[in-house]
Every structure is written in C-alpha cells, then in structure tokens.
Chains A and B, each alone.
Chain A
Amino acid sequence: MGYIWGGIKQAIALIIQLDPEVVEIVWTSVKLSTISTLLASIIGIPGGIAVSKIDFKGKYLFDTILNTLLSLPTVVVGLAVYSLISYRGPLGQLELLFTGKGIILGQVILILPIIVALVRNAIHEIDDRIYDTAISLGATGTQRFRLLISEARYGIMGAVVAGYGRVIGEVGVSMMLGGNIRRVTRTITTAIALETNKGRFSFGIALGLILLSISFIVNFLIYYLQTGDKE
C-alpha cells in the first residue's frame, strides 16, 4: 500500500510542477484528439443528417452495420488502417505510419460511425411538428434545414463530445499507428501502457489522473448538453 500512496503523491507533484514530459504527452493527446474529432465531425454531421433524412434501398442493413460499427474495437481499426498505410499497403506512399496523421486517420475512422449514428438519433428525436411549423412560418428550404439543425444542436454537440471522449481514451489505434514515439506520437494512453513497463509508476499515475480529469470534463459536457435544453 505504501508504494501506491507514494506513487500518487509523486504523480500529483508531477502535475503541479507541470513536468515537461507530462505536459508534452497530454498536449499531443489533446491535439490529435481535437483534430480527429473535428475532421470526423466535418464528415459525420452532414453524414448523420443525410442518413436520417434520406431513404434508400437497404437502409435497414445500413443502420444495422452502422450500429455494429459503434462498438468497433480500436485494435481492429488499428490493424485495418495499418495494412492500408503500411509501405506495402495501397496508401504506403503517403508515409503516414508512425506519424500524428496516421493516428488521426485511424481515429477518424474509429469515431465516424459514432458521430453519424448519434447525429442521426438527434435528428430523429426532434418533434415531427417542427416540419409543419417551419413551413407555415414561411421558411425556405434552406431555412427549414437550418432550423432543423438548430433544434438538434445539443444532440449534435453531444455526438461530437462523445467522439472526443472515445478518441482521447483509446489506446489501440494510437499504439499501432503512432508507435508511441517520444515527442511525436506518445499519447496519454500509449504512455500509460508502455511507460509503466519502465517502472515509472508515478508517471503513469499522473497521466492516468489527467486522463480521468479530461474524461470527467467530457462527460460533464455531455450531461450538460443533454440536460441544458430541458431546464
């Protein structure tokens, strides 16, 4: 027990002193997750709206596949993207492996289904009366669409935040595509996974505490966005 408390004490010291390595790793994680989430949102939000609005043949199958992809294991994504961007793979020439860009590609693929599905649900949850109301208020097609998005805004933001929560805490993609390279692709999760192997427990605990705090903030945001409109 003694050494656990020691570890936690040292961890807190590392955080308070803004240990440069800790700061660098946290920043790498935040940076990569932010960009991944942003890119996935740029594709996923219109995608989710399209999926909720457009009927097509095989939509049932599509929805089922989408729901399956929600729980896509990170290592499966990692493996699939590795075979794509490995030098021997079809995208090998781009030299994305073991770079931040490689991680971003994997993370975008990981959370795209999540954002699409949650945005779709957010649109579905909107009261059907919104359509008649918007038409009767004299809204043009574009204005109707904007009103729809505006009404789904909390749901859409919730989808984005959920995507962020997923990437900041994932380890499979970052490990397999990033390679845990110091100062480049070492993220909070890969560092925790591998640095403890070096016996740097307090370092791992410090990162773990920070990850917990980020997750807390993310979950708080989700909760806030989900309840914000009902108060």
Chain B
Amino acid sequence: MKKKEIILKAENVTKYYGQEKVLDIEQFNLYQNAFNFLLGANGSGKTTLLRILSLVDKDYNGQLSYCGKEINKQESELLNLRRKFSVIWQEPYLYNKSVADNIGLPLKLRKKSKNCIKNKVAELAKELKISHLLDKNSKQLSGGEKQKVSIARALITEPEILFIDEPTTNLDYKSNQFFNELFTKLVAKGVTILLITHDLYQIEKLAEYITILKQGKIVINEHKEQVLNEGELEGNNIIGQKLVFA
C-alpha cells in the first residue's frame, strides 16, 4: 500500500460558535487523487470542517496548507484556491435563473465566453442526463433534480478538489449508483474528493481514506486498510463501531 501525497492539510484548527468550541483539530490530511471519506455522528463537526477546508469559512484559528504551502487569509489567494475547488452542498442553493444559467454560473464568474459556457453546459448536462432540465427555472425542480443540477454546477469547472456533503439524501437509488460511479471515475482521472456520508455501502465500496470526527476532534485520519487492520488488532470493526453511533 503506497501512501498518497497530501494536497490539503489542517493543523491546530479550532472553531468556536460563541463560547462553544465546535472544532479542535490537531492535524488533518486530505490525500491527493483519492476518495477521502469524512464520517461522524450528527453534530460532530463534519460540515464545519468541510466549510473550513473548502475555504468558504475563514473565521477559524489555525493553519491550512495547500501542497505544502501555507494558505494566508488574503482574499486574492483564497479566491485563487477556491476556484480550484468545488462544493456540493447537502441542501444546494440554486439561483433564481434557468438551470442552464445555474450550471454555467461558475464559468461566467471566471469570465469565460458565452459560447464556451453554452457548449460546456450542454456537454455536461448530456453526460449527467439532465439535458431536458436546461430550460426550466431552478424553482420548478424537484429536490433530486436540484441536487443533480448542483452536482453539474460543481463539476463544470473541473475542480482539483471536490467537497461533497451527503449528496445522496435527495437522490433515488439509481441516481445514487450513477453518481457513485461518476465520482469514482473522477478520482481515477486525478480528482481529490472529500465526501461526508452515512452510507455504509458507499464507505465499503469507495472509501480510500477515512476520517472520523467525534465531538469536534479527529479520532482517525488514515487509509481504510490501516483502519481495518487496527480494528482487527483490537478484535473488532472500528468503522462499523464508530458508525454505530452515527
């Protein structure tokens, strides 16, 4: 088992909501070109950590580094990095525009030409089997359709790192399968994925690296096999055990 490079690292990161410390991370590694899973009970700080790692939330203490280089909190540097990342939210927000405009929005923000946006949107929509939705207004979509559109919107920039927060809640079994395969293909192409999930099947099939959060602290942040080995040493299935409370 060859250990992969670390693309994003968090050290001594703490986050408070008022007086309450909700996150206390000594060290967290996000492994490049891998399927990283972030697990933990509700309220354990998964989404909070995801917002910090994806540079959406910069209101924290501690240090992040990208490819070994420390990230300062200057807006220009943050913007540069954010544009290499994409986030798929658990409850996506779509703008009050057409589906096509929503999917093309990140490219528009990056000042791509209209033609380029149009072609890319059409191509991606076809791949994700949502071409029939393109002309609709986002408000007309069902929950599952919204999630599919938000996935397309996240993928259109061909991100280096894809942060995904329990995307499958709103999706049916078939779509679920479809996206699991899609994400696997992306990793194979070199994309790094951080995925928050409760889905044991997904973990078993897809996980490469596993991180478990408990009350804001990291319990495990290692390769799946290592986690399993440790588990065997202790005579039980650590993932399963850790997830029972989840």
- Touch test A–B (CB under 8 Å): yes
Whether, in the assembled complex, A147 has its beta carbon less than 8 Å from a beta carbon of chain B, the answer is yes
Whether, in the assembled complex, B92 has its beta carbon less than 8 Å from a beta carbon of chain A, the answer is yes
Whether, in the assembled complex, A143 has its beta carbon less than 8 Å from a beta carbon of chain B, the answer is yes
5 A-B interface contacts by CB (under 8 A): A135-B56, A136-B56, A136-B87, A231-B137, A231-B140
**8 A-B pairs with least C-beta separation:** A129-B93, A138-B83, A136-B87, A133-B93, A137-B106, A135-B56, A139-B109, A138-B82
Please name all residues of chain B whose beta carbon is closer than 8 Å to the beta carbon of A154 when the two chains form the complex: 96
Residue in A127, A137, A150, A151 whose beta carbon sits within 8 Å of that of B109 in the complex = A137
Please name all residues of chain A whose beta carbon is closer than 8 Å to the beta carbon of B54 when the two chains form the complex: 136
Whether, in the assembled complex, B153 has its beta carbon less than 8 Å from a beta carbon of chain A, the answer is yes
CB distance from A90 to the nearest CB of B (A): 44
Residue in B89, B96, B97, B140 whose beta carbon sits within 8 Å of that of A132 in the complex = B89
Residue in B86, B92, B95, B109 whose beta carbon sits within 8 Å of that of A143 in the complex = B109
Whether, in the assembled complex, A140 has its beta carbon less than 8 Å from a beta carbon of chain B, the answer is yes
Whether, in the assembled complex, B77 has its beta carbon less than 8 Å from a beta carbon of chain A, the answer is no
Are A133 and B92 in touch, CB under 8 angstroms? yes
Please name all residues of chain B whose beta carbon is closer than 8 Å to the beta carbon of A141 when the two chains form the complex: 75
CA distance A147 to B95 in the complex (A): 8
CA distance A170 to B92 in the complex (A): 44
Please name all residues of chain B whose beta carbon is closer than 8 Å to the beta carbon of A143 when the two chains form the complex: 109
CA distance A76 to B94 in the complex (A): 45
Please name all residues of chain B whose beta carbon is closer than 8 Å to the beta carbon of A183 when the two chains form the complex: none
Are A229 and B139 in touch, CB under 8 angstroms? yes
Are A150 and B95 in touch, CB under 8 angstroms? yes
Are A138 and B79 in touch, CB under 8 angstroms? yes
Residue in A135, A150, A230 whose beta carbon sits within 8 Å of that of B82 in the complex = A135
Are B89 and A129 in touch, CB under 8 angstroms? yes
Please name all residues of chain B whose beta carbon is closer than 8 Å to the beta carbon of A138 when the two chains form the complex: 79, 82-83, 106, 109-110, 157
Query: What 1/0 mask marks residues of chain B from 148 to 162 whose CB sits below 8 Å from any chain A CB?
Result: 000001000100000
CA distance A130 to B138 in the complex (A): 14
Taking A132-B89, A136-B54, A138-B109 as contacts, is the C-beta distance between A229 and B96 under 8 angstroms? yes
Please name all residues of chain A whose beta carbon is closer than 8 Å to the beta carbon of B70 when the two chains form the complex: none
Most buried by A among B75, B96, B105: B96
Please name all residues of chain B whose beta carbon is closer than 8 Å to the beta carbon of A230 when the two chains form the complex: 139
Query: What 1/0 mask marks residues of chain A from 146 to 189 whose CB sits below 8 Å from any chain B CB?
Result: 01001101100000000000000000000000000000000000
Are B95 and A132 in touch, CB under 8 angstroms? no
Question: What interface size band does chain A fall in?
Answer: 20 to 34
B residues at A contact (CB < 8 Å): 51, 54-56, 75, 79, 82-83, 85-87, 89, 91-93, 95-97, 105-106, 109-110, 137, 139-140, 153, 157, 163
Instruction: Identify whether the interface residues of A are mostly helix, strand, loop, or mixed.
Output: helix
CB distance from A225 to the nearest CB of B (A): 12
CB distance from A162 to the nearest CB of B (A): 20
CA distance A231 to B55 in the complex (A): 34
Are A136 and B95 in touch, CB under 8 angstroms? no
Please name all residues of chain B whose beta carbon is closer than 8 Å to the beta carbon of A137 when the two chains form the complex: 105-106, 109, 153
Please name all residues of chain B whose beta carbon is closer than 8 Å to the beta carbon of A147 when the two chains form the complex: 95
Are B93 and A127 in touch, CB under 8 angstroms? yes
Residue in B85, B89, B157 whose beta carbon sits within 8 Å of that of A133 in the complex = B89
Please name all residues of chain A whose beta carbon is closer than 8 Å to the beta carbon of B55 when the two chains form the complex: 135
Taking A147-B95, A150-B95 as contacts, is the C-beta distance between A132 and B106 under 8 angstroms? no
Please name all residues of chain A whose beta carbon is closer than 8 Å to the beta carbon of B110 when the two chains form the complex: 138
Given contacts A135-B55, A147-B95, 5 further A-B contacts (CB under 8 A): A129-B89, A129-B92, A129-B93, A150-B97, A231-B140
CA distance A130 to B102 in the complex (A): 13
Residue in B91, B137, B163 whose beta carbon sits within 8 Å of that of A129 in the complex = B91
CB distance from B146 to the nearest CB of A (A): 12
Are B89 and A151 in touch, CB under 8 angstroms? no
Most buried by B among A132, A136, A139, A147: A136
Are B89 and A140 in touch, CB under 8 angstroms? no
Please name all residues of chain B whose beta carbon is closer than 8 Å to the beta carbon of A231 when the two chains form the complex: 137, 139-140
Are A151 and B91 in touch, CB under 8 angstroms? no
Residue of B nearest to A136 (CB): B87
Most buried by B among A130, A137, A147, A231: A137
